[in-house]
Amino acid sequence: MAQFDKVSQKSKLHPKPEGLTLQYGTAGFRTHAKHLDHIMFRMGLLATLRSKKTKSTIGVMVTASHNPEEDNGVKLIDPMGEMVTAVWEGYATQLANAEQDSLLKELKDILEKEDIDVSEPASVYVGKDTRPSSASLSQAVLDGVSSLGGKTHDYGLVTTPQLHYMVCCCNTRGCYGSPTVEGYYQKLSQAFLQLTQNASNRTDDQKRLQVDGANGIGALKMREMEAFLRSELQVVLSNDGSSGKLNHMCGADYVKVQQKAPQGMNMGVGERCCSFDGDADRIVYYYTDSKGCFHLLDGDKIATLISTYLKELLTQAGLNLQIAVVQTAYANGSSTRYLEDVMKVVVCCTKTGVKHLHHAAQEYDIGVYFEANGHGTVLFSKAAQKQIQELVKDLNTNDERKQAVKLLESTINLINQTVGDAISDMLVIEAVLAIRGMSVQDWDAIYTDLPNRQLKVTVSDRRVIDTTDAERKAVTPEGLQDAIDSLVKKYKNARSFVRPSGTEDVVRVYAEADTQESADSLAHEVSLAVY
């Protein structure tokens, strides 16, 4: 067939180094950029098949998020803006690792297994981050799509969540918004301005926010968006990519892991600051107090702030919708306790990785999900959204519930429900703080984090560790969990778990306890038990 001839020809321009094998990991393929050209071409092919299969537009994002600038990566985006399904992750690995002469065989195998009509039209949206390697790698994706006759739309430089948004807009025929970068800015800024109207008399100081752009795409896009926010948010941007290196000594991952401010940011005492990661799908907040002590407000604090706000609005609006918070094992014990005991919301724990949290959050009327590292969003079920939209129309202007329902409606519009989005999350947080008249210190004081420590342990084969109960318990090797249990018993308010990393060849150890010394010592002891 002529179509396959073209694939065959073009694939020679993107040859696979013999013997190289890579896995579609937690968040797609990710490694040194020099190994990725063939992967990109093949992901272009796979996205085309996925598009034919689903009769929808599929997204391909070229980014390695918070990894060093020399790395790159790719992930596929499904029709509703979600991560691609597990079965297709398997196909991605299969196609990526086929040697050059069996590429067509593997391609046909997927077509057959999925019963795809190769003559169906296909449409693929492509986006990339600011890494130097991203330009040629995204070209390889485009080559892959066109070699199978698919149509492409190259969005060029966009954040990962912007591309998720575009895919969702396209497949819902504009119901979610208009599939352009401008449409994204308009949708979010309008909702933000609606919300902040409810917080009058804010001073310029309160409107001011320091943003660390990680020298990446988020900085670029924040600059573009600024004008849309009409000074209701006054962003002071650092690490804007004009001189520094992507993710180097800056960005959300650096701040979370190092528990310190990024370089290049001039922080005043008590000033509200935040950091994006390299593709702007993660965010953390922080400030330093008058004693110079650094305070981090991570994904758990963000989930608490947003769910408290939403719960209050639901009560004021008289709406009986169930709200749940989805966390992972890394969630600080204090946050879980606060949410369950004080807020009385359902808390559920899933395995690490956005797709797991996202799926769990879909089970509720309102599912707030955040990883401690700052990746997360809020999902509203279709029924909940409809109920809120109808109530806005039905209620009289003098009904005291009206205000709360309108706030809920604008909040829905401000949230990127397809995936965690640093820009959207930042605007939600800023709006909530403004509406509730809270400072970053008030927010921080909602609960106090238990001291904690994370360590990495290198072992000969991390796969010998298998876990259950959302990664909180080790089932193999035998005896490991018993050892952890007896170590934990030695400390007060303690908890610890180990899990093999999905992105690095290491085992991760997490421990928390009543004091930093205890958390450090427990983490150390548990890491010795892993060897």
- Binding-site ranges for ligand 16G (CB under 6 A): 26-27, 352-354, 371, 373, 375, 501-504, 508
Per-position b or e across 395-412, b if 16+ CB within 10 A of its CB: beeeeeebebbbbbbbbb
How many residues touch Zn ion under the rule CB under 5 A: the total is 4
Task: Find out whether 372 is annotated in a ligand binding site.
Answer: yes
Report the alpha-carbon distance of residue 59 to residue 44 in Å, rounded. Answer: 10
Report the alpha-carbon distance of residue 156 to residue 62 in Å, rounded. Answer: 10
- Binding at 371: pick from ligand 16G, Zn ion, none (beta carbon under 5-8 Å per type): ligand 16G
Q: Of 51, 65, 67, 527, which lies in the binding site for Zn ion, with binding defined by CB under 5 A?
A: 65
Q: Pick between residue 485 and residue 505 the one whose CB is nearest to ligand 16G.
A: 505
Q: Pick between residue 65 and residue 189 the one whose CB is nearest to Zn ion.
A: 65
Tokens linked to 246: 């992507």
Q: Pick between residue 161 and residue 177 the one whose CB is nearest to ligand 16G.
A: 161
Task: Find out whether 371 is annotated in a ligand binding site.
Answer: yes
Residue 352: CB partners within 8 Å, gap ≥ 6? Answer: 26, 328, 329, 330, 371, 471, 499, 502
Task: Find out whether 320 is annotated in a ligand binding site.
Answer: no
Cβ 43 vs Cβ 81: under 8 Å: no
Q: How far is the CB of 476 from ligand 16G (least distance, A)?
A: 18
- Binding at 277: pick from Zn ion, ligand 16G, none (beta carbon under 5-8 Å per type): Zn ion
Contact region for Zn ion (CB under 5 A) — 14-22, 65-73, 187-195, 470-478? 65-73
Q: Facing residues of 236 across strands?
A: 210
Q: What is the CA radius of gyration of the chain?
A: 23
Task: Find out whether 500 is annotated in a ligand binding site.
Answer: yes
Tokens linked to 276: 């994006």
Q: Pick between residue 23 and residue 503 the one whose CB is nearest to ligand 16G.
A: 503
Q: What is the DSSP string of 226-240?
A: HGGGTTSSEEEEES-
Report the alpha-carbon distance of residue 511 to residue 531 in Å, rounded. Answer: 17
Q: Which of 11, 51, 65, 334 is catalytic?
A: 65
Q: How far is the CB of 214 from Zn ion (least distance, A)?
A: 9
Report the alpha-carbon distance of residue 346 to residue 343 in Å, rounded. Answer: 9
| Residue 51 annotated in active site | no
Q: How far is the CB of 267 from ligand 16G (least distance, A)?
A: 26
425 binds Zn ion (CB under 5 A): no
Q: Pick between residue 5 and residue 505 the one whose CB is nearest to ligand 16G.
A: 505
Tokens linked to 177: 């918004």
Cβ 219 vs Cβ 237: under 8 Å: yes
- Binding at 93: pick from Zn ion, ligand 16G, none (beta carbon under 5-8 Å per type): none
Task: Find out whether 503 is annotated in a ligand binding site.
Answer: yes
Report the alpha-carbon distance of residue 71 to residue 504 in Å, rounded. Answer: 13
- Binding at 63: pick from Zn ion, ligand 16G, none (beta carbon under 5-8 Å per type): none
Q: How far is the CB of 513 from ligand 16G (least distance, A)?
A: 21
Q: Pick between residue 91 and residue 510 the one whose CB is nearest to ligand 16G.
A: 510
Task: Find out whether 394 is annotated in a ligand binding site.
Answer: no
Q: Pick between residue 284 and residue 321 the one whose CB is nearest to ligand 16G.
A: 284
Per-residue x/- marks for Zn ion, 275-294, CB under 5 A? --x-x-x-------------
Report the alpha-carbon distance of residue 281 to residue 283 in Å, rounded. Answer: 7
Q: How far is the CB of 373 from ligand 16G (least distance, A)?
A: 5
Task: Find out whether 444 is annotated in a ligand binding site.
Answer: no
175-179 long-range contacts, Cβ below 8 Å, gap at least 24? 176/81
Cβ 462 vs Cβ 346: under 8 Å: no
- Binding at 89: pick from Zn ion, ligand 16G, none (beta carbon under 5-8 Å per type): none
Residue length of the chain: 531
Q: How far is the CB of 422 from Zn ion (least distance, A)?
A: 8
Phi then psi for 209, rounded to 5 degrees? -140, 130
Closest CA to 168 of 424, 349, 351: 424
Task: Find out whether 277 is annotated in a ligand binding site.
Answer: yes
Tokens linked to 54: 């689903």
Q: How far is the CB of 509 from ligand 16G (least distance, A)?
A: 11
The residues annotated with a catalytic role in the active site are 65
Residues that bind Zn ion (CB under 5 A): 65, 277, 279, 281
Which residues contribute to the annotated binding site for Mg(2+)? 65, 277, 279, 281
